[in-house]
Amino acid sequence: MQVLIPSALQSYTKSNTVEASGATLTELLANLDRQYPGLRFRIVDEQDQMRPHMRFFVNGVQVFDLTQGLQPTDCVYLVQALSGG
């Protein structure tokens, strides 16, 4: 499936769009980490929770659970929230 990568993480992928597979977001992130070592740690913390500054969208709908099921035709967007003043 197609995964859109935020610009802050493109140092890992060298692209804004990559291909990965997985039946859930957890599996998808594991697949991405095999292809791009270190990427998963920037998205998920040590307790396997989504980092507070990351947002996940599947086919344009925000999801909050890493066990979210995925289909091979889905498009996953990883979005990094901005903060500051």
> Which contacts (CB < 8 Å, 24+ apart) does range 32-38 have?
32/3, 36/12, 37/12, 38/12
- Check which CATH number belongs to the domain holding 31 and give it: 3.10.20.30
Residue 85 lies in a domain: no
Quote the domain boundaries for residue 47: 2-80
Mean pLDDT over each residue of the chain, to the nearest integer = 93
Q: In the prediction, which pLDDT does 81 show?
A: 81
Average pLDDT over residues 72-80: 95
**What is the pLDDT, as a whole number, of residue 55?**
93
pLDDT mean over 44-62: 94
* pLDDT one-digit tens code per residue, 23-45: 999 999 999 999 999 999 999 99
